[in-house]
Structure 1
Amino acid sequence: DAATNILGSTASGVKDKVIKTLGRQFVFEFEKTIDTDYTRQKLNEAWRNYKHKLYETFVEDEDPSLVKEVAPRNITLEDWHKFVDYCNTYKFKAMSERNKMNCEQQIMPSSLGKTSVAIAWNKLALEKGIPKSEITRADSYMLIHKPKETVPQSQEVLNSIKNHIFEHPELQYDLSEDAVATVVGPDKRGRYRGLGTGVCKIVLRKGDSLMKNNDGLMEANTLIKRRIETVEANMDAKMSRHMEEVRGMFMSQRGTFNDNVPSPHSRASHHSTAPVTIKLFFFLVNNFLEYL
């Protein structure tokens, strides 16, 4: 159903169906809005990429009447006709030309290709030997927009960012005054440069409650860990003390045996050692249960 309607007017309804299907098959953790927004964003991105691929493969620079004759796999002929007609409207062609011009004028295009920002962050963290949480936006921006070939304009921007990091290291975790905001310019509404697609003020605001919850859980886990370490240390010390007492009792009993030197037929010596043995037995049992 999603494949047949992906080009029609019911695409938004299809996305809602996909969200519900994912909700039945997978458990969304924490706040559902964050996972849902991310899923919708990925669906929109995949939808745009799919339409762009169809346009480049079948429609671009081709005769519309010939293109309409056969629809690609999993697309109804009716939806295919609508798509081809839309791609040949003045509005679409003007938008396409404008996008091409904007792309050519980009000074700092992304150089990651199909590699996601998250994967790039993991590689960068491994290279630097630091956790991902310590990667600044400036580090991420320079990684994403690192030119494959030496371009004077882009190199000038990167050098300015590096200079700002060197002169103001304390500002690199402030998105309003870090190197990217100072050199490249303030962020536009709906996005933050250098943090990957979908990261904006709304997402960060939604994630703030999660960060606070995580901080609280981290503090609780640290406290529990310290208490466990204290209990273990006390148990070890107590066990060592008990073992010393047991050792002393064994040595005392051994000394009693050596001093008395009883004969095999002496009943008096048997009765004299019995209370010591019983006392030692109950001492071991009590301390063992206390240790557990």
Structure 2
Amino acid sequence: MEDWRAFVDQRTTEEFKRISARNKVNRAKLKGPACLGRHSMAVTRHKMAMEKNLTSDVEIGRCEVFLRAHTRKDKVVQYPDLAEKLDELYSSNPASRMTGMDDALTELVGSDNRGRMRGLGCSISKVGLKKSAPARSKVENVTKEKESVTQELSQVKKKLDGMTQDIVEMKKTLVDMQKDRQYTQNLSSPTVAKSTQASSPDIIYIGKRCDLLGFGKRGVVARGEVHEVNPNATVHCEPLEDGAFVVVLTEVIQPHAPLWKEDGFASTLGEAGPGSFVQWGKEALRIQ
């Protein structure tokens, strides 16, 4: 109660009313009042450093804090001309972004009054700023080193991306070469010639067109021709499974459908592609 009475007495004096009236008039004359609410300049500067994942608040120049302090909640800057000029000055002189006696804000707005510095909050003066020059210089050097390292890492990443793309193209070329070589080997394979002399009743299917049925409810996944029915035949050096035929693909309908049996060169019909030899179960062939 004693504190409350003292507070009421202080607020009801003629001197306080005169000061309040004067301050109300002065606030009405402001062109760009501060929009920080309960937050101080120092707190705002720290929040900006946290947003950018910086290691020190010193890396945030007071020019940036000044603009943030005069930006409304709807993101409208109260000094658009100043913001545009600051950007131009940053482009021509990046060092002017860092807080100092001759930074961008000083150049555009003018020198600060005695005992205060714009964008830094209370208790920060020119004298204190001068004494902190060595620390700020150290931070500036660290910032420049970080930018240099970032640029070097970006260049290395571009080179690695290019090398990765080259490796992918080389792998694709090697796979195509292996398919072509295997296709040639299958054409000249003695096993194929042997099939014409085989006594198997399935020999009547050789050369006939067929639909390849996929697993489950996939339906027709590809079309081709029966090329070999001899159980001793091989596809890409892999022996035929019981009840399987060698089929040469003429059309791939479902590229992502898995092979009836992987042969070490491909695992899906799309990877094998038309013209390739695959083995497919007789019961999963619709021979025409």
Query: TM tier, shorter chain?
Result: 0.3 to 0.5
Which has more strand, going by share of residues?
Answer: 2
TM-score for both structures, normalised by structure 1: 0.39
Greater relative contact order, per chain length (Cα 8 Å cut-off, separation 6+): 1
Bigger radius of gyration = 2
Which has more helix, going by share of residues?
Answer: 1
